[in-house]
Amino acid sequence: MDYSYKNIREIYSHILKLGMLSPPEDVIATWTVFKNLSNITNMLELGSYLGGGLGIFNQLLHQAGHNGVQFVGVDHLDFVGAGARNRPGAWYTDHFNKCLSPEEQTTLKNLNTADEAANWIKERTLRLTGTPINLVCVKTEKELSDQQYDVIHHDYGDGVDENLRTIRHCLPKLKDTGIYIVDDWCTGAPLRTVATVIAQQEGLLHPFLWAKNKVFYAKNPARAQELVNAILKDPDNNPKLFKGMPGSEYFGSNYKTIRMHWQAIQWS
């Protein structure tokens, strides 16, 4: 499957089928980043949900030449699985109705343990994407080992303190060359946005790409600039859609970030 901006419609239907909670523009941005990283072996997803994001990240990584990536998903299963059975009218229920078959909804309702969730996601990922996924799930961040990750996708948390706790707990698990992706930035989770600003002020996160709902960070300014340069030099990059921008002096002189012009992706 073509994950470039040229294929936004097909990417959109694939996302709907898998039940990933992201717009296609953010998947295109993730593809742009993944194809410019080398040697990705481990990825952590904070908020594995229906595994739609995991399935798509797995395919993106395969296609970018990163084979056999080991994924770890964290989800307390309060909003999915048996824990959600008695939560009528939740927004998530509407989403399940949109993207899960009646059989899938029945099996989802019986998930109790993290292992059951991992097996359910593995079966569904293979069936819907044709690409097997190596996945282990846990219910809480506290159960994570000292494993170091190349990529962390942060996709839960409401309040500022809660999100900062997650960032401070998980960032030490990111390799120095790794990338930290925050979802719902400035859209669904305003206080998560505030938490990332505080983390930037503490020198923990260094932005390098602003997508639609996702922001991509490196752990240090040098790595952020290396990634900006690699993406801008990528011959597949369309500079009208992924533009290098002079950054704020806050991160150092001549610090640049990339801004995705997602409206132009839709217009094209």
Ligand X SMILES: C[S@@+](CC[C@H](N)C(=O)[O-])C[C@H]1O[C@@H](n2cnc3c(N)ncnc32)[C@H](O)[C@@H]1O
Binding site for ligand X (CB under 6 A): 20-22, 45, 47, 49, 52-53, 74-76, 78-80, 140, 155-156
CB of 196 to ligand X, least distance (A): 16
Question: At closest approach, how far in Å is the CB of 104 from ligand X?
Answer: 14
Nearest distance, CB of residue 47 and ligand X, angstroms: 3
**Could you give the CA distance from residue 115 to residue 13 in angstroms, rounded to a whole number?**
28
Q: Return the number of the residue (145 or 253) whose C-beta is nearest ligand X.
A: 145
Closest CA to 121 of 102, 140, 107: 107
Q: How far apart are the C-alpha atoms of 215 and 196, rounded to whole Å?
A: 10
- Closer CB to ligand X, residue 53 or residue 247? 53
Identity of the residue, 38 or 140, whose beta carbon is nearer to ligand X in the bound complex: 140
Helix, strand, coil content of the chain in percent (nearest 5): 45, 20, 35
Instruction: At 199, list the tokens.
Output: 């983390």
Among 181, 111, 113, residue whose Cα is nearest residue 152:
181
Choose between 63 and 229: whose C-beta lies nearer to ligand X: 63
Q: Rounded to the nearest whole angstrom, what is the least distance from the CB of residue 244 to ligand X in the complex? A: 27
Cα 175 to Cα 230: distance, rounded to the nearest angstrom = 19
User: Cβ of residue 139: shortest distance to ligand X, in angstroms?
Assistant: 7
- Comparison of 163 and 225: residue with beta carbon closer to ligand X: 163
Q: Report the residue number whose CB is nearest to ligand X.
A: 53
The residue (of 78 and 236) whose beta carbon lies closer to ligand X is 78
**Considering the complex, what minimum distance in angstroms separates the CB of residue 195 from ligand X?**
13
Find out whether 48 and 121 touch, Cβ atoms under 8 Å: yes
Give the whole-angstrom CA distance, residue 192 versus residue 155. 10
Task: Dump the DSSP string for 184-228.
Answer: STTTT-HHHHHHHHHHHHTTS-EEEEE-SS-EEEESSHHHHHHHH
Rounded to whole angstroms, the Cα distance separating 60 from 69 reads 11
